[in-house]
Amino acid sequence: MTAAHLDPARKHDFVFLIDVKDGNPNGDPDAGGMPRTDPITSQGFITDVALKRKIRNAVTLFHQGEPGFEMYVEEGVALNPKIQRAYHENDLKEGDTADAQQWMIRNFYDVRLFGAVMSVGDQKKHAGKARGPMQLTFSRSVDPITPLEAGITRVAPNKPEDLAKGKVTEMGNKHYVPYGLYRGHGFYSGALGAKAGVTPDDLAAFWHAMTMMFDHDRAASRGEMALRALYVFSHENAYGLVPAHKLFDRIRVKPLGHSEARSWDEYADRVTVDEDGMPDGVKFTPLA
């Protein structure tokens, strides 16, 4: 029997907690790479796009070479040739958009889960658009964060002529957050999942990637990042029995009220989960 959180025919709503220590969880290119913040509340946030990129990378690592687990969106790889593969490998003609779309959905994991626009550019042979059943929100910090900047030096200058002039170091900077705990929400539609042909293996790959994505995406700029909690509410049907926000209200993280937190230990006892009186037909599964 398939576990509730692995059943693609069900609707799933989930809450996740991510923390960062001495790192930049998601730099803003419009602000010189500084950690993203809400200018009104000083809360930090991490975009859904940043998390999807890490999930894609993790799934690729764990399922490399397996049919159906290719990625449409990859760093440094053009999209159009992948769309044209649908036509070349299936001997399709201009106008066979629906067939090309179905091939893309079957072969590319991220198209199947997240959806994609596959009519980029002025190509006459395209694959239209696919609406993904799995969606994530921005992750917002529970308390305000304190973005800091550290000056750094490199002992190797860029140019030989600089070295000849006696310049022996290059200066730079690094943006970071001493500590931040971020909360995000996710949604999976069983109805859209059925149309995309999502399988229990697809969901298992997603949950595994969520729990392990930071362990395989280390970078000096991101410091220490970890998934601290992942709570899944699985409805017994494809459309849901109660609104997601009512389920999310059962997961509470009491704010500290300041930006001086420096570790998960300061929040661990402030996370509460209300499992009493869970609505009939909703299965609660903590995965982390």
Residues above pLDDT 90, as percent of the chain: 86
> In which band, very low, low, confident or very high, does the pLDDT at 1 lie, cut at 50, 70 and 90?
confident
For strands 12-23 and 115-117, give the pairing.
unpaired
Structure token pair of residue 74: 């990859």
Q: What is the pLDDT of residues 110-143, one digit of tens each?
A: 999 999 999 877 778 999 999 999 999 999 999 9
CB 148 within 8 A of CB 63: no
Nearest to 240 by CA among 140, 133, 130: 133
What is the value of pTM for the model shown? 0.93
Q: What is the pLDDT of residues 231-241, one digit of tens each?
A: 999 999 999 99
263 and 143 belong to one structural domain: yes
- The Cα diameter of the chain in Å comes to 75
143 and 268 belong to one structural domain: yes
Residue 285 in domain: yes
Residue 169 in domain: no
Structure token pair of residue 26: 């998601």
- CA separation (Å) from 13 to 4, 143, 147, 272? 12, 23, 31, 17
> Where in the sequence is the domain holding 108, given as residue range(s)?
49-132
- CA separation (Å) from 138 to 15, 110, 142? 12, 18, 13
Q: What is the pLDDT of residues 15-74, one digit of tens each?
A: 999 999 999 999 999 999 999 999 999 999 999 999 999 999 999 999 999 999 999 999
145 and 35 belong to one structural domain: yes
